[in-house]
Chains A and B, each alone.
Chain A
Amino acid sequence: MSQAVAPVRHVLIEGNKSYHNITEDLCSPTEKAPTREWIIAFSLSAAFLALYVFAIVWTVWKGIGEWGSNRTINWAWDITNFVWWIGIGHAGTLISAILLLFRQRWRTGVNRAAEAMTIFAVICAGQFPIFHMGRVWLAFFIFPFPNTRGPLWTNFNSPLLWDVFAISTYFSVSLLFWYTGLVPDLATVRDRATGFRRKMYELFSFGWTGSAKHWQRWEALSLVLAGISTPLVLSVHTIVSFDFATSVIPGWHTTIFPPYFVAGAIFSGFAMVQTLMVLTRKVLKLEEYITINHIESMNKVIVLTGTIVGVAYLTELFIAWYSGYVYEQFAFYNRVFGVYWWAYFGMMFCNVVSPQLFWSRKIRRSIWWTFFLSIVVNIGMWFERFVIIATTLARDYLPSSWSYYSPTWVEISIFTGTMGLFFTLYLIFTRVAPVVAVAEIKSILKVAGDQYVGPKAQKQHDHGHSAAPVRNEDQNAG
């Protein structure tokens, strides 16, 4: 093979695919009958979803007194879980927007699934504040609209209202971004389908033809959406952190919260992407699209953000001591050595210590380690939110109202139930749409111009790539 190959570029997709191979590999999971693994996973998820519905009906029927939250610890599992899910929902937009702007072309293998994950995670997150309102049938009061009560408006100075705007904007913009990216791929599935399936995909692909002008506008739209999603994704968790930071509770009232929450969100989001990708690539046989290189790149992001989070934890402790302010010092002493000391040490171990293993290239490139550590990180990030919320509230200004919180079966069911909701949605998604962006993968297939398949090709596409100096092992892992 001629040496028109740039040695620094390594292949992003393995297995010397042709365009048709890509279509075949990525669309076929939506066309075949579900596998046994899928059916088992779906049944399990649906069972948890049913548990969720039951626990929610119970909550709405009996009231949120059924939860373990009390007058002192009035935010507990609900807000912990809300922040946890919102954090997970950050990786998708980060991968699709920020990595697009940084021209990280490997993102193409994972962006579609990560964006879907974002949307499903935000749906799960939204459940908690909505049902925490108690009288959920009045939930629409959170939106400012002309009404017969004055009109009585919402409080635009409240970070909780900012959150309403941030989360709903984030959800709808992510949905637009994801779906617009999906339209050409749904058209690909449509053009392979017949009968009723074809009719359905005709409806959902909006009449996409692949015209040059449409592609041009589609790319312009994607780029601008990426551009505005980047500050959006950073703003969302910043505003979530304002829920705490703008209060006057020692331990919450800190300016470090916005960057620390955003780093934590990226950290947990990537961990959840890893959990899902390791499973998805195996079950759907997408190892050539979501390669070890992808997993390694994401592990690098995890070790970076995990370390940022670790620095933030230590900074918080230092600033509390340095402030000389006794309530602040007590809040942090209590956080580390108080009644919930086990949550603090769990958080420290899972979020700060465990990701450091990813400095080892071997561990970073190991599927089993990645899967295991991604779960550990998600547990750690859950602890982080629990530590911030429950520990701080448990020991407030007035020792007579100090309290302890443990969840009831209703809260445990709602939390595990949202996982059922999440995985049910994700599993349905893997059945109805290509989990890897088909068109975008095709556009990054040729990294070296040696994969020309037209009539003037020296030889047909014979998978004879052996002479190419571009193998994974060769790449500089920097």
Chain B
Amino acid sequence: MAAHQSTKVLYGLYNDEEDLKQAVKVANAGHLDIMDVFTPFPVHGLDPILGLKESRLHYLGFIYGAIGALFGFGIMSWVFTMDWPLMIGGKPYWAVPAFIPITFELTVLFSAWGMTLTFYTICGLWPGVKAQTLDNRITDDKFCIAFDVTDGADDTALKNFFSRTGAAEVNIKTL
């Protein structure tokens, strides 16, 4: 998301998440192209009006978990039946019930790590990534709507939009 050429951003800060949600609805009605919305905490009810589709992360969680289960069960089966069959207390080599705990743990392990690493990767969040912060107060108590105005087109419509929807502050910043 962090493009290397600079992006000029016009953004407005709201004091309350209800104002933010109203403003997003107004922007949608006026066909304004919102670049992004930044909030200090997850605002419920924002995703549908922003048109964000539900995250597909949980499907990946299932797939990673399935890989973990197959990997764990497969490797234990291979080791104990083919690579080095070991007689333990007269029990069968392929002791399926005894493999359940480790299979379960690996399911959870793969699912959790896979999903978390995917989350950080698709969000572009990693140690050393510099945050494209528009305003320090966005992680505190301000709710921000940002528009990309790099092309230098007339932004009076956007400024009108901000004043009409009750933005507490409107600023321009080049990222």
Which residues of A line the B interface, CB within 8 A? Answer: 18-20, 23, 144, 150-153, 155-157, 159, 161-162, 165-166, 169, 172-173, 176-177, 180, 183-184, 187-188, 190-192, 202-221, 223-225, 228-229, 231-232, 235, 239, 242, 439-440, 442-443, 452-457
Known: A211-B38, A216-B52, A455-B168. A144 touches B79 (CB 8 A): yes
Which residues of B line the A interface, CB within 8 A? Answer: 1-2, 14-16, 18-19, 36-44, 46-47, 50, 52, 54-55, 57-58, 61, 65, 75-76, 79-80, 83-84, 86, 88, 91, 95, 98-99, 101-102, 104-106, 108-109, 111-113, 115-116, 119-120, 122-133, 136-141, 166, 168
Cβ of A207 and Cβ of B131 under 8 Å apart? yes
Give CA–CA (A242, B105) in the complex, Å: 15
B residues within 8 A CB of A232?
A: 105, 108
Known: A176-B116, A218-B119, A220-B55. A228 touches B139 (CB 8 A): no
Cβ of B126 and Cβ of A210 under 8 Å apart? no
Q: Which of the residues A184, A207, A220 comes within 8 Å of B124, measured between beta carbons? A: A207
Give CA–CA (A176, B124) in the complex, Å: 17
Q: Which of the residues B131, B141, B166 comes within 8 Å of A209, measured between beta carbons? A: B131
B119 to chain A: closest residue by CB: A221
Q: In the assembled complex, how far is the CB of residue A245 from the closest CB belonging to chain B, in whole angstroms?
A: 12
Q: In the assembled complex, how far is the CB of residue A115 from the closest CB belonging to chain B, in whole angstroms?
A: 14
B residues within 8 A CB of A455?
A: 15, 19, 166, 168
Q: Which of the residues B84, B111, B127, B139 comes within 8 Å of A150, measured between beta carbons? A: B84
A interface SS class = helix
Q: Which of the residues A156, A183, A225, A440 comes within 8 Å of B125, measured between beta carbons? A: A183
Known: A207-B131, A210-B39, A231-B108. A225 touches B115 (CB 8 A): yes
Give CA–CA (A70, B125) in the complex, Å: 52
Cβ of B127 and Cβ of A156 under 8 Å apart? no
B residues within 8 A CB of A216?
A: 42, 47, 52, 54-55
Q: In the assembled complex, how far is the CB of residue A222 from the closest CB belonging to chain B, in whole angstroms?
A: 9
Known: A212-B52, A239-B101, A439-B40. A153 touches B83 (CB 8 A): yes
